[in-house]
């Protein structure tokens, strides 16, 4: 689907009087030197993408990559144009789950084509914000690249924040006095962190190159802004590493808690067994059939026996309590 398709001149959107779907018309509208077109596609069909590819001369390998959403993040140069793949991430509160999408950018002289896959991480806000600030937009495709990457990385930080909260919850659950089975939760969080890492890490190296300002097609003046993005990426990557290692520690602690609980249970059970075994022995004694057992003939022998049983149980109880077994 073609989401939007517009010509920008001197930092302003130009109304060409044709529908965004008329790709060729917008293309030919770019006649002045610093004009550029931003074509925005969402889950395009093979035909739509091929049409755009022909119009703007995109490389077949890049087009193939942009069509499906299973690429790894990368920045590749084809001749004098750049091909950028970004993973988008968003957190779905209902499922405590991280979902992923993909954005591909074709950046060439006088045009930028964005191809988005997945339901989340829409680019329309980024476009609106850009169109509202002609001072930035005047820098051409570089500005669009920055706006998109900044938007994507901001989402990473927000997802990292949500996962941080999840880890805090797990932590609390592990060290609560209740019996909890946190291993499944920890496993899922670890898997999500692994997925996130695969989105974030490959992007660091190209962003650092953008930050140095030596990548053709990216304005050198935009360097500090990309350095800011690279810095955010590093922060996200550090958070991921920290959370992952905290989860490992939490899992270890969880194992220890299970062992300690088993220990506690075992001792509690043993004490309970003692509570019954002691009076049972007493009952066994007075169930013996000796001719000469004076207690049997006492008037209060029976209550005495019951008392003895109680006393034996009580002794076990007190000892257990004192040694912390009950």
Q: How far apart are CB 72 and a second copy at their closest, in Å? A: 5
Q: How far apart are CB 5 and a second copy at their closest, in Å? A: 27
- What 8-state DSSP symbol labels residue 165? H
Indicate the residue among 35 and 150 with the shorter CB distance to a second copy.
150
Q: How far apart are CB 91 and a second copy at their closest, in Å? A: 18
Instruction: Catalogue the E-assigned strands of 51-136.
Output: 74-78, 81-92, 97-108, 111-117
Q: How far apart are CB 190 and a second copy at their closest, in Å? A: 5
Indicate the residue among 1 and 285 with the shorter CB distance to a second copy.
285
Indicate the residue among 109 and 198 with the shorter CB distance to a second copy.
198
Q: CB of 250 within 8 A of CB of 170?
A: yes
Indicate the residue among 9 and 190 with the shorter CB distance to a second copy.
190
Q: How far apart are CB 12 and a second copy at their closest, in Å? A: 23
DSSP-derived pairing of the beta strands 74-78 and 2-9: unpaired
Q: How far apart are CB 206 and a second copy at their closest, in Å? A: 13
Among residues 257, 260, 261, 269, the alpha carbon closest in space to that of 326 is found at 269
Token representation of residue 48: 């739509």
Q: What is the distance of C-alpha 169 from the center of its chain? A: 14
Token representation of residue 217: 């097609």
Environment class of 173 (CB within 10 Å of its CB; exposed 0-12, middle 13-18, buried 19+): middle
Indicate the residue among 122 and 208 with the shorter CB distance to a second copy.
208
Rounded Cα distance, 13 and 6, in Å:
7
Indicate the residue among 32 and 300 with the shorter CB distance to a second copy.
300
Q: How far apart are CB 295 and a second copy at their closest, in Å? A: 8
Q: How far apart are CB 159 and a second copy at their closest, in Å? A: 16
Q: How far apart are CB 288 and a second copy at their closest, in Å? A: 4
Q: What angle do CA 121, 124, 127 make, to 5 degrees?
A: 120
How many C-beta neighbours within 10 Å does residue 190 have?
15
Q: Which residue has the tokens 């075992």?
A: 266
Q: CB of 163 within 8 A of CB of 194?
A: no
Indicate the residue among 3 and 159 with the shorter CB distance to a second copy.
159
Indicate the residue among 1 and 281 with the shorter CB distance to a second copy.
281
Indicate the residue among 33 and 70 with the shorter CB distance to a second copy.
70
Q: CB of 173 within 8 A of CB of 183?
A: no
Among residues 190, 196, 179, 174, the alpha carbon closest in space to that of 247 is found at 190
Rounded Cα distance, 27 and 99, in Å:
34
Rounded Cα distance, 238 and 241, in Å:
5
């Amino acid at each position: 689907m073609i989401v939007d398709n517009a010509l920008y001149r001197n930092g302003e959107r130009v109304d060409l009087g044709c529908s965004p779907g008329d790709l060729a018309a917008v293309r030919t509208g770019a006649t002045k030197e610093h004009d550029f077109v931003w074509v925005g596609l969402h889950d395009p069909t093979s035909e739509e993408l091929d049409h755009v590819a022909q119009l703007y001369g995109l490389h077949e390998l890049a087009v193939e990559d942009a069509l499906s959403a299973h690429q790894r993040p990368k920045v590749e140069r084809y001749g004098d144009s750049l091909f950028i793949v970004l993973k988008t991430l968003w957190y779905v509160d209902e499922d405590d789950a991280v979902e992923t999408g993909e954005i591909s950018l074709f950046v060439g002289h006088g045009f930028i084509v964005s191809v988005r896959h997945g339901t989340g991480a829409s680019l329309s806000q980024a476009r609106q914000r850009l169109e509202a600030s002609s001072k930035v937009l005047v820098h051409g495709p570089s500005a669009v690249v920055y706006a998109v990457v900044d938007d994507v990385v901001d989402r990473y930080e927000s997802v990292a924040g949500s996962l941080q909260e999840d880890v805090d919850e797990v932590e609390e659950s592990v060290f609560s006095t209740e019996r909890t089975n946190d291993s499944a939760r920890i496993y899922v969080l670890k898997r999500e962190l692994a997925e996130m890492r695969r989105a974030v890490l490959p992007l660091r190296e190209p962003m650092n190159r953008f930050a140095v300002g030596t990548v053709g097609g990216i304005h050198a003046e935009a360097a500090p802004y990309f350095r800011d993005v690279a810095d955010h990426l590093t922060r996200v990557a550090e958070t991921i590493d920290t959370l992952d290692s905290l989860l490992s520690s939490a899992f270890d602690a969880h194992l220890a808690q299970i062992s300690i609980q088993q220990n506690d249970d075992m001792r509690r059970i043993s004490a309970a067994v003692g509570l019954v075994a002691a009076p049972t022995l007493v009952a066994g004694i007075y169930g013996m059939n000796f001719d000469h057992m004076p207690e049997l003939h006492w008037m209060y022998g029976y209550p005495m026996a019951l008392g003895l049983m109680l006393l034996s149980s009580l002794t076990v109880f007190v000892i257990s309590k004192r040694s912390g077994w009950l």
